[in-house]
Amino acid sequence: MKVEDSVIAFKLNQTYHQGIGQMELYDITRHSWRVSERREKAKYAFAVFHGIVKEIYKIAAWLPQNSTLNTKEFAADADLSINTKRWEFVGNIAEDNIREKYLGRDISGCFKSNQSPFEYINC
């Protein structure tokens, strides 16, 4: 499938699991990435598991890692220090027309690298 919008697709193959809750999926998608300034060009973030889009978020802003609370921070060993080399986004579930276009679709053909944990598409 061809992606026509500006997207950063996060490959969650190590952290996604069946039965994952909506908040946990949001947190693992948005939190702690070593992304470049190119991130600012992405309008949407895709949560991707083995090439399939599991959820889509409209990005509102990028902030240094640990600037906002997330479910992982309730763990006893959580490192809550601000890290300006890693970034997290805040946002909302994307609008219906975008979700209808991409949700549940295989976008693995858009990936240039299997090594990178994320892929910029049209950014």
Instruction: Round to whole Å and give the CA distance between 111 and 114.
Output: 7
For residue 3, is pLDDT > 60?
A: yes
Please check whether residue 71 is in contact with residue 27, taking contact to mean a CB–CB distance below 8 angstroms: yes
CA 50 → CA 2, 4, 16, 47, 54, distances in Å?
16, 20, 10, 10, 10
Model pTM?
0.87
pLDDT of residue 71: 54
Q: Which of 9-18, 25-34, 76-85, 98-107 is predicted least confidently?
A: 76-85
| Residue that wins the pLDDT comparison between 67 and 60 | 60
